[in-house]
Amino acid sequence: MALTSISPQKIIPLDLYDKKILYHLSKDYRMSRKQLAKQLRISPQRLHYKLQRLTKELIDPLILINYPALGIKMYLIFLPKLSEESKKELMKDPSVAFFMQAVGTYRYVLNVITSDIEEFCKRLLPGFHTKVIEVTKQIPDSYNPFPIGKSLESVKEDKKIKLDKKDLQILLQLSKNPDDSLIGLSKVKGIDRQTIKSRIKKMEEANIIQKFRYSMNISKLGYLIYFLKIKVTSDSREKILNEIRQDNYSGTVFVTHNGFILFYMPPSHRELFKFVEKTQASDSNARIEIIQNTEYFKISPSPTNELEKLLKEL
């Protein structure tokens, strides 16, 4: 499943209940709907109606997978230009977790999940000048733009575990349908519900499954979408990461060898200026490059092709 856009979006109005629903589902999309209705103090029927609307118009459920922990490489690619044909190919390629057209030094930004980046570039980007950056770690976002409640969560540490065929089957199915129930997963994979539940929990504890939440078409909120490349000194690295994660408008953080790259999605440019000033106050040597999205994008954060390769190897 993926969110895509190739033209300006119509803004969707949200009431307080919509915002509260989004907040709770950003913590855990698979939480019981009965429990959510109780927390919001609304009827299950009203919650169902609101969820249907939000899913149809604004959000798409997803599972955030820690691909590097599975031995699968993750890269960010920056390009100054592309042909129209290449744009179309990249929008539909299964290795591309996100693709966006932008304004700035780089006109295009890609997040690619692949075990062979050279083959990917030769196949889809022949003749184009590219800047390729390896992602050493992905930190799930606690994006909370409204804001409601306290959204910051601790960063889980990776635990080395060996996944077997059943684990990968479950992970692959959740990548395709993140909101599948245990009953639904059991029917598709022929594995009993308790086994599925315990294996999902095992993968969550090992930080293989980082989070169940949703991707959101930010443009439909009337918000801006920036992509920030932040180069920092080693002394300020942890401090700035903490500041990034506490900011209500910060999205997923990609850790690189010399800093961080992240989505920043505020309601106006004023919040971005404040964020930049605060970062540079924490590290006067910090270098921040700002790239703005043009509403031409694809978001599909859980590609399945590399998982399918791992499954075939077992």
Kindly list the domain boundaries of the chain, sorted by start residue.
Answer: 9-54, 67-149+216-299
Which residues lie below 8 Å from residue 38, measured CB to CB, with a gap of 6+?
A: none
| Segment 111-137 mean pLDDT | 95
Beta-carbon count within 10 A of 281 CB: 10
Give per-residue pLDDT as tens, 265-284.
Answer: 999 999 999 999 999 999 99
DSSP state letters, 255-307: EETTEEEEEE--SSHHHHHHHHHHHHHH-TT-EEEEEEEEEEEEE-----HHH
CATH value of 9-54 in 3.40.50.720, 3.30.365.10, 1.10.10.10, 3.40.30.10: 1.10.10.10
Task: Judge whether residue 299 has pLDDT over 90.
Answer: no
67-149+216-299 has the same fold as 9-54 = no
- Residue from 74, 75, 104 nearest 288 by CA: 104
Decide yes or no: CATH 1.10.1740.10 for domain 67-149+216-299: no
pLDDT-derived band at 73 (thresholds 50, 70, 90) equals very high
- Residue from 29, 304, 301 nearest 168 by CA: 304
- Report the mean per-residue pLDDT for the chain: 92
Cα–Cα distance, 172 to 91 (Å, whole number): 21
Residue count of the chain: 314
Which residues lie below 8 Å from residue 169, measured CB to CB, with a gap of 6+?
A: 189, 191, 311
The per-residue b/e assignment along 33-55, b for 16 or more CB within 10 angstroms, e otherwise, is eeebbeebebeeeebeebbeebe
Q: What percent of the chain has pLDDT over 90?
A: 78
Q: What percent of the chain has pLDDT over 70?
A: 97
Give per-residue pLDDT as tens, 128-163.
Answer: 999 999 999 999 987 889 888 766 778 888 999 999
**Residue 109: strand pairing partners:** 78, 100
Give per-residue pLDDT as tens, 210-248.
Answer: 999 999 989 899 999 999 999 999 999 999 999 999 899
**Cut 0.85: pTM above it:** yes
